[in-house]
A and B are shown apart, each in its own frame.
Chain A
């Protein structure tokens, strides 16, 4: 059993209530942080090597040190928008451990000298919003929030507020716009939120899990945190596992577990759902490149692949992927990669805020072309067309949603081009959406070989 930092007490009955949480040692990090200087706290977090758990993996301590000093009004905003397909860990954390999030928000606000902080949660998680609202009320009632916290002279107001169904509001500047009561249109960076953020004030936006790691770091020291994991992948990470595995769910892993162990062992995913062969995996949420089975457990160099930031991206986008938000989606041989690519493209088209043309038009185009390929109306040149469209989106947009829409398409073509070709050449075979359930790719790929042999 790996070390648990976040989920250590998750099974204690009543842990979501203030009393039980406090009895298990909750809020001690606030007491400790109130006796430290903000710089000392930031240094501890820097030493821990903690990297943002929202997807980009940016070092948290460094991000905190960028906070604008010439404007004294700072804000900390917790990103609880969690909408990346495949990711459901933040919801689990907030449902079970609302007070850990509040504790982390307080200690982090002390570090950032923020006196007004917010948790922005997606509107669909309405019952979690209520859980947080109740927990925040308890924290106020027990003197952990409000004026002069525990006689320290430090004031902090913390509130939860909600979105209303828009993936783009997970992007930090869109989130800030939404928190200001507007449409979730991302802002052009720079200026970065650390300089001009919420209400024009320096603001740090951090993921739920990132903030929940802070109390442990304060209590045990950054160096202890850095001892867990490998290299620049320190600490533990929650992985949301879904798809065709035996035991979907949220798992806390030390950042050093081999991918094979994670998928196959009973401690984690428990192997494949119906013992069908593994076909592919999206290891870090829908935006990261899909990996074929042969590149999942081992890197292209033949080394064991680990659940770390570095190992997961070994090989770059050519033969690697990213750990991203930890949304680990497993596909067996009944799943169609073309259909899945269409599914993702539809998602990004639906979620594009529409501000910039490459993303607004490009995602729609990707959706249309992948749709016609999947439904048996594709043309041979469509595959190159898709490649061309995704390349023209990538890097040419205001926010990274454009890239996030492009990468899955590029990776699917890179690793599964033959399946796209099969859809063009055997349209009758793919008309039924369950085509690979009846005849998995392994069974029908001979048709392609035969056709190619005849063409010679």
Chain B
């Protein structure tokens, strides 16, 4: 079987991530290491500007000893994996019913207008993107959005203003592995 070999040089995989991948693999029985795939993809995506290039997916396939197609079919199924570059800060607003009853649609409009973008678009400086996603399990704390690894809840226009400022000031942290 021949597979197209691609240049992996641009895929970032730090020693820490490699150690982490080994740990994740160790949680599954021999011959079932593919079970770690979803979690590994999260970690690799985090390290590579929040998206998964074909090269990154191929690298994951190699690390897990599975075929690239097995990675592609998973990446294309789940909504949290990005197959294209995304804004540095993606505001993923919940647009489902419970959040809508408490003003999610108004808040999305407010944010888009403030940033001068439509839904899904990235601001010209590449910093922000506004998306509508489905219920995030925070229905009682609506309206809300997901930003990276965290939720921002009970939002108001004022809180959105402050959040945008915090992003611009580089105050948004990433969650690190245990």
Contacts and interface: CB of A to CB of B under 8 A. Distances in A.
Nearest to B41: A164
B175 A242 contact: no
A337 B42 CA distance: 37
Given A134-B178, A166-B77, A126 B149 contact: yes
Contact of A329 (B80, B139, B178): B139
A438 interface: no
A192 interface: no
Interface string B132-144: 0111111111100
A165 B80 contact: yes
B29 interface: yes
B140 A164 contact: no
B178 A133 contact: yes
B26 to A, nearest CB: 9
A155 B157 CA distance: 53
Contacts of A179: 35
A163 B35 CA distance: 11
A381 B40 CA distance: 49
A447 B76 CA distance: 48
A223 interface: no
Residue in B96, B101, B140, B146 whose Cβ sees the most chain A Cβ within 10 Å: B140
A233 interface: no
Contacts, number: 150
Contacts of A162: 38-39, 42
A159 B35 CA distance: 12
A: interface residue count bin: 35 or more
Contacts of B35: 161, 179-181
B73 interface: yes
Interface in B1-37: 27-29, 32, 34-37
Contacts of A340: 97, 100
B78 A243 contact: no
A163 B137 CA distance: 14
B110 interface: no
A137 interface: yes
Interface string A120-148: 00111111001001100100000000000
Given A85-B139, A126-B42, A182 B74 contact: yes
Interface of B: 27-29, 32, 34-39, 41-42, 66, 70, 73-74, 77-81, 95-98, 100-102, 105, 133-142, 146, 149-150, 175, 177-178
10 contacts: A83-B134, A85-B134, A86-B98, A90-B137, A126-B149, A162-B42, A164-B42, A164-B81, A329-B139, A353-B77
Interface of A: 82-88, 90-91, 116, 122-127, 130, 133-134, 137, 157, 159, 161-167, 178-184, 199, 240-244, 248-250, 282, 286, 327, 329, 331-332, 335, 339-340, 343-344, 347, 350-351, 353, 433
Given A86-B97, A126-B149, A181-B36, 13 more contacts: A83-B137, A86-B135, A164-B79, A165-B80, A166-B78, A167-B134, A180-B32, A180-B34, A182-B70, A183-B77, A327-B139, A343-B96, A343-B100
